Amino acid sequence: MRRIGVIFAAYLAEINVYTYQQPTWPAFTWQHERLEPLLGAVRHQQGRVLGHMEGLGFSLQAEALLQTLTLEALKSSEIEGELLPNEQVRSSLARRLGIDVAGLVPAERRVEGVVDMLLDATQGFAQPLTAERLGAWQAALFPTGRSGLQRIQVGAWRTGAKGPMQVVSGALGREQVHFEAPEAAHVAAEMTQFLTWFNTDTPLDAVLKAGIAHLWFVTIHPFEDGNGRVARALTELQLARADASAQRFYSLSAQMRLERNAYYAHLEAAQKGALDITAWLAWFVACLSRALQATEQTLAQVLTKARFWEQHATFAFNARQQRLLNQLLDGFEGKLTSSKWATIAKCSQDTATRDIQALLDQAILVKEAAGGRSTSYRLAETRER
């Protein structure tokens, strides 16, 4: 009995060791027979999505690209608990991509930084991934050199000056350590090995490579902050390589946000114990499959917007009306009232009322059932969509 207990204790110790502490790290392994059918299915989905998008006109492709990249930027940040203004992200992306959309607004520096990183990753997917490039991405996320109120090191690997790099949850005094990254002294060598692998062409399936790269990077955790967002950006870069296209029509981060708990749980499990990462890769590919399925909603939204603006092409909208109508078409949160219109459009209540009344007269907006002080408005096309 004592012998069994010793073996069991040794087993527990083994499964709790981090993967990077294994003697054969980073020689990941996986079960090909389990992943092959999943990869075949997701490759078929990728082909269908790209085929559908190529069948659209240039303007609709541009709108789909804008919608997808906006979603990717918003949801990747949201996974980390940072909420970016939708309208600012969309406007920044439209300006950078040269897409003519109505109602552009200025963007904060933090928004511009997220957009900088995402566009460099997706539009420059064919360029080598370097330490300098990754450092620039991470620095762009923290334009003030601070994460919240805390000053952090940006644009360079972590130094360890603040102690071990840990992923922790729970209230103060009852923290739970989910993961502790390699010592800072090892980061430079770890990243050199990672970047050499990432930039080397191998027979490895490009989607699998995206999943491995994501796990490998967050396990090294090379930066003081921003590792998750940078990991998802380099994953987008690799998926663009998999599609051989800078045109992004599906958002993996949006799906990961929906499955946030499972995302973190699978990462944590894959970072402990043996180097067999089959379970992580199976989840990653399945999550990508669900992201591709969700693209149908993006396409439907793009087509709805196109039909709307085509239907009302003869009406002379002012910039405020264009801006608010686009927000309604993108999925306005809550009820649109005249006071909200005035706040968003930065105009007086009287101007907002005139803007709305003009749209009511053209049957573009309709009043919701409730009236009086709580009067709200929706698109007349809502019921038909």
The pLDDT assigned to 333 comes to 76
List, as one string, the DSSP characters of 9-65: HHHHHHHHSBGGGSTTTT--B--HHHHHHHHHHHHHHHHHHHHHHHTS-HHHHHHHH
- Regions in the chain scoring below 70 on pLDDT: 1-16, 370-373, 381-385
Q: Which residues of 111-135 are buried (b: 16+ CB within 10 A; e: fewer)?
A: bbbbbbbbbbbbbebeeebebebbb
DSSP state of 44: H
DSSP strand pairing (176-180 vs 166-169): antiparallel
CB 323 within 8 A of CB 344: yes
Question: Cα(327)–Cα(87) distance, rounded to whole angstroms?
Answer: 8
Question: Cα(15)–Cα(30) distance, rounded to whole angstroms?
Answer: 17
Q: What is the pLDDT of residues 328-370, one digit of tens each?
A: 887 777 888 999 999 888 899 999 999 999 999 999 999 887 6
Amino acid occupying residue 77? S
CB 127 within 8 A of CB 134: no
The pLDDT assigned to 75 comes to 97
Beta partners for residue 168, in sequence order = 177
For the segment(s) 2-302, the CATH number from 3.40.50.720, 1.10.10.10, 1.10.760.10, 1.10.3290.10 is: 1.10.3290.10
The pLDDT assigned to 112 comes to 97
User: Could you give the residue range(s) of every CATH 1.10.3290.10 domain in the chain?
Assistant: 2-302
The angle formed by the CA atoms of residues 73, 155 and 159, to the nearest 5 degrees, is: 120
**Feature table: binding site for ATP:** 225-232, 263-264
User: Could you give the residue range(s) of every CATH 1.10.10.10 domain in the chain?
Assistant: 316-384
The pLDDT assigned to 224 comes to 96
The pLDDT assigned to 3 comes to 46
Q: Which of 44, 178, 214, 221 is catalytic?
A: 221
pTM of the model: 0.80
Dihedrals phi, psi of 196, to nearest 5 degrees: -60, -45
Q: Which two tokens stand for residue 19?
A: 């993967």
**Feature table: binding site:** 225-232, 263-264
DSSP strand pairing (166-169 vs 146-147): unpaired
DSSP strand pairing (146-147 vs 176-180): unpaired
32 is a catalytic site residue: no
Written out in words, the top-level CATH class of the domain with range 316-384 is mainly alpha
Q: What is the pLDDT of residues 253-292, one digit of tens each?
A: 999 999 999 999 999 999 999 999 999 999 999 999 999 9
